[in-house]
């Protein structure tokens, strides 16, 4: 089967990607690890002893980063619709975050703990129709914010991937109602052409 020009271009970019090579060298499952590492370097979200939830965790690079930093006294709880190979120190549930039953399972896993941090790198399956993809993406973002509202301790933080679109300002407003400060982060490991940015809610009210 012949590859399309766009898939060839993606493959070429991937093969030559600095962060892909670094991930292979450093033992991370995906280049996305460096997005979290850069944000954490700046904002100190994850520390030894942090208890956090990683939403949309597969293939596991954010969970790897988090588990390495939180150490033995912290906890990482992860959830994804896709399977994820085990990560030492991470409790994982596979399931669809949009389903109440899956969310209930995940909440049971938390065991009544209030979280210091919620990180969400969730994204929908891309259909190629931007209006549909944006709507699906913001539904996931809204559910992640709802989860953060219900499970973050006062003063806790929330990091979420968003794609800039028509819902962006309304979502920022909702975050500002819940957090003392909301800032935008665009890590160097985000590809330039991508409309993704990360919103960071600091200090849950």
Q: Which pLDDT score is estimated for 188?
A: 93
d(C-alpha 25, C-alpha 21), whole Å: 6
User: Residue 88, exposed/middle/buried by CB under 10 A (0-12, 13-18, 19+)?
Assistant: exposed
- DSSP E strands in 56-164: the ranges are 75-80, 90-94, 115-120, 152-163
CATH 3.40.640.10 fits 32-204, yes or no: no
Annotated binding residue 10:
no
Q: Which pLDDT score is estimated for 150?
A: 98
Structure tokens at 63: 């969970």
Order of strands across the sheet with 115-120?
90-94, 75-80, 51-55, 115-120, 152-163, 196-204, 179-185
List the catalytic residue out of 5, 153, 161, 188: 161
Look at residue 70 and give its three-state secondary structure.
helix
Where exactly are the structural domains of the chain?
32-204
| pLDDT per residue of the chain (205 residues) written in tens, 0 to 9 | 555 665 666 556 655 688 999 999 999 999 999 999 999 999 999 999 999 999 999 999 999 999 999 999 999 999 999 999 999 999 999 999 999 999 999 999 999 999 999 999 998 888 888 888 888 999 999 999 999 999 999 999 999 999 888 899 999 999 999 999 999 999 999 887 788 999 999 999 9
Look at residue 46 and give its three-state secondary structure.
coil
Structure tokens at 148: 């953060």
Catalytic annotation present for 5 = no
Q: Which pLDDT score is estimated for 14?
A: 59
Annotated binding residue 96:
yes
Annotated binding residue 95:
no
| Strand duo 152-163 + 90-94: pairing | unpaired
């Amino acid at each position: 089967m012949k590859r399309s020009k766009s898939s060839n271009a993606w493959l070429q970019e991937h093969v030559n990607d600095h962060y892909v090579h670094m991930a292979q060298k450093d033992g991370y499952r995906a280049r996305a690890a460096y997005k979290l590492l850069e944000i954490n370097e700046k904002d100190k979200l994850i520390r030894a002893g942090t208890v956090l939830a990683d939403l949309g965790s597969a293939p596991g690079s954010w969970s790897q980063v988090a588990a390495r930093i939180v150490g033995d006294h912290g906890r990482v709880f992860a959830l994804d619709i896709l399977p994820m190979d085990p990560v030492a120190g991470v409790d994982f549930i596979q399931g669809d975050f949009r389903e109440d039953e899956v969310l209930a399972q995940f909440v049971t896993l938390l065991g009544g703990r209030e979280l210091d941090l919620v990180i969400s790198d969730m994204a929908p399956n891309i259909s190629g129709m931007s209006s549909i993809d944006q709507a699906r993406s913001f539904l996931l973002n809204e559910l992640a914010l709802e989860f953060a509202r219900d499970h973050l301790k006062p003063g806790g933080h929330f990091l979420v991937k968003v794609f800039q679109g028509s819902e962006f300002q309304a979502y920022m407003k909702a975050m500002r109602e819940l957090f003392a400060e909301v800032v935008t982060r665009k890590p160097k490991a985000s590809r330039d052409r991508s409309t993704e940015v990360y919103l960071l809610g600091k200090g849950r009210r």
